Structure 1
Amino acid sequence: MIHFVNHHAPLRSIELFAGAGLLGHAFREFGFHARLAVEADARARASYAANVGADAMHTDAREVCKDIPCSILLAGPPCQGFSTLGKRDHFDERNSLSLCVADWAASSKPDVVVVENVPPFLESRYWETLRRRMHRQGYKSTHWVLNSADFGAPQLRVRAFAIFSRIGLPERPTPTAKRHRTVREAFDGLPAKPSGQDLHVAPPPGDLALARFKVIPRNGDKRDVMRNAPELCPPSWLRMGAQATDVWGRMELDAPANTLRCSFQNASKGRYVHPTEHRVLTLREGARLQGIPDEWQFFGDRSSIARQIGNGVPLALGRAVADAVSKLFKQ
């Protein structure tokens, strides 16, 4: 028989910056019930409620709800100011939102706190400040940098996890994938042509975008357009050369995808052109790369759903972390 060391039964969670609930869903599979989810975006909150469910919803992580004890506190604060894929702006005001975690921990007194972000977060002054504040509250800490593909996600998404605990530290998850899953496997069963249903939708390309797609070969990218059809290139491409070579790039069919961003339906933002079709990825294809079940319900318009998908933790990686952390509550 499994006994829980925490005095809350069942195990209850609070999730900050909850998004559509991918990380929360993974922890729910390991016995954690969401007591409160905090998310500013109303459409993401609706998706969270439909797929994970929480006793209550709250909108602002800066406003700490008092007297809501929990077993575990989950948080995925905004990463844009730390990400190497963005501007990595150390002065981005969103960076300081990570410090809200310590305020919530002081109020809710969870046994374990899990903070997810991009790896450069661990090099920031906000990480050092958060760690000091959590240590003063009596938590010990460890951190992991994990590649989603090592745990079965068809995506080379690397994420950092900071674990703070009062009941011992978990063992680092061991990779479970004998080989990396591919884009081909993720898209299995989906028609090549968007159906317009069940999120299998993509923005129709304009004339210029379509012309570029047609000269980008399999595994190709913007360099092929520059080489084979310079008349389709803006002056900046020709002036600056082949910088950011992943943009206007086709995904490799027989390899994991690169990191899926919120802008995965924009060819100028990364390697988001379909491996064989003259278009960018559909929402459903993006969801498949995150391991999201087809029956998952999303609320919002196309751009909102793309953000919800791109902001999430791949389910395979979330499960690996939840599995490791949940063992702390068993004896």
Structure 2
Amino acid sequence: MENKTNTLKAVDFFCGGGGMSYGMLEAGINVLAGIDNEENCRNTYDANIGKDKFIKEDVFDLKEEELENRLKLDKNDDDLILIGCSPCQFWSIINTKREKSTKSANLLIEFARFVKHFNPGYVVVENVPGVLRKKKESGLEDFIIWLEDNNYNVHFEVHNVSEYGVPQSRKRFTLIANRVTTEKINPEKKEGTKVTVRDVIGEPNGFPKISDGNRDETEFIHTVPTISEINKRRLKKIAKDGGNRLGFANDPELQLPCFIGKDDWFKDTFGRLWWDKPSPTITTKFFSISNGRFAHPEEDRALSLREGATLQSFPKKYIFHGTSTSAIARLIGNAVPPQYAKCIGESIIKNHTNGII
């Protein structure tokens, strides 16, 4: 195979606020468009990926020919990457209200329609590990069979993004299918010490100390919600640098009734991050201390919006638009960490150009 130049281009289905798209751009891949059915993603996507690249469409309603004409796509294009990082509430182990997310169970099947229509050179799927545990029900099993029957070499595995330069422990199912070469493409891990919380947040990294309730109206959004007086008292009893709710478990005024006699249940609730470890998984509720180990390692507050974005590996220059703290946190928590996406993109470029990046 002769060396090829990088002429890769991608369409990002279920693009959200652009985490996957940004990582692909950083790797050197041209992102043609991002598709999502939520209008509140548009301004964030436009600001960081490129104006007029956001397509608001529900994948259940979008027709293959419509997308083909709109983006002037060709079938059987070796340079085309189709990416599907569908919302994953239905298959998530932390979701407790699956009936609200039933529609998301079939998104992979809908994405497969476009793969079968375009037969692109590359396919990328990123999702929660649960999609692999339930690969028959999720449509993953049939999708992989179709890919292999149509001459794709398919890598699929659950990866922890902390192995790829992201300062966060986050396990994600990743599939990379390639019909351009005979290789199974596996994103290359970053060798050496994992990136930790201390490496990216805190005063030395440009995050001034703040109190709960801080409102940052700049694009840095070092914003954090107010917490109640009783939660402030609880936080003061939680040890710095990795302490948990057992710090106030023996105080009858502070202990939560639901945890009495249940010290081993949900110990991360009200917990602090460790400075010298990657953060826990950044969810859409990372701004709330009662929703996981989301308290600052030493300050008596939850993580700010920018801290959560940084732990997701978004650069500080990334601009988020949203009508509320929770709306922006949802964009951040649902995103594919851009640094992980960059590793995926670089591995595809390396394959496509015969090792020349």
With normalisation by structure 1, the TM-score equals 0.91
Structure 1 residues 89 and 135 mapped into 2: Cα distance closer, same or farther (>3 Å)? farther
Q: Is the 8 A contact 1:149 1:177 kept in 2?
A: no
- Which of 174, 177, 183 is matched with 1:161 structurally? 174
| 1:56/1:157 CA distance change after superposition, 3 Å | closer
Letter in 1 for 2:88: C
Q: Secondary structure at the match of 1:106?
A: helix
Alignment counterpart, residue 104 of structure 2, candidates 66, 84, 94: 94
The residue matched to 1:47 in structure 2 has which SS? helix
1:183 aligns to 2:197 (yes or no): yes
Q: Amino acid of the residue matched to residue 89 of structure 2? A: Q
Q: Secondary structure at the match of 1:13?
A: strand
- Work out the CA distance in 1 between the residues paired with 2:297 and 2:263: 24
> 1: CA distance between counterparts of 2:97 and 2:345?
28
How far is 1:89 from its partner? 4.7
Match of 2:287 among 265, 268, 274: 265
Q: Deviations over 1:13-51 (max 9, x none)?
A: 111110111111111223322222111221222211211
- For 1:46, give the aligned amino acid: N
Compute the displacement of 1:85 (Å): 2.8
Q: Which runs of 4+ in 1 moved over 4 A?
A: 88-91
Give the stretch that moved more between structures: 301-310 or 29-38. Answer: 29-38
CA distance in 2, matches of 1:203, 1:328: 45
Q: 1:294 offset after TM fit, Å?
A: 1.2
- Structure 2 partner of 1:316: 339
CA shift for structure 1 position 88: 8.8
- What amino acid maps onto 2:91 in structure 1? F
Q: CA 1:16/1:253 → structure 2, altered by over 3 Å: closer, same or farther?
A: same
**1:130 maps to which of 143, 157, 168:** 143
Alpha-carbon spacing, 1:236–1:34, altered in 2? closer, same or farther (3 Å): same
Contact 1:261/1:311 (<8 A) preserved: yes
Q: Are residue 85 (structure 1) and residue 86 (structure 2) matched? A: no
**Deviation at residue 288 of structure 1 after TM alignment:** 1.0
The alpha-carbon deviation at position 138 of structure 1 amounts to 4.4
Residues 50-100 of structure 1 show CA distances to partners (whole Å, capped at 9, x for unaligned) of 111264513212223422336000111112222233339598331211111
Q: Secondary structure at the match of 1:322?
A: helix
What is the match of residue 148 of structure 1? 161
Paired letter, 1:79:
C
Q: Which whole-Å CA distance do the structure 2 matches of 1:143 and 1:178 have between them?
A: 24
What corresponds to 1:192 in structure 2?
A: 209
For structure 1, which runs of at least 5 residues remain unmatched after alignment? Answer: none
Aligned to 1:58: 56
Task: For residue 157 of structure 2, give the secondary structure of its aligned residue in structure 1.
Answer: strand
**Structure 1 residue 286: deviation in Å?**
0.5
Give distance in 2, aligned partners of 1:265 and 1:293. Answer: 19
Specify the code of the residue in structure 2 equivalent to 1:176: K
* Mapped contact 1:16–1:74 kept (Cα < 8 A): yes
Instruction: State the distance in 2 between where 1:89 and 1:165 align.
Output: 33
Unaligned runs of 5+ in 2: none
Correspondence for 1:235 among 251, 257, 260: 257
TM-score by length of 2: 0.84
- Counterpart among 266, 273, 283 of residue 244 in structure 1: 266
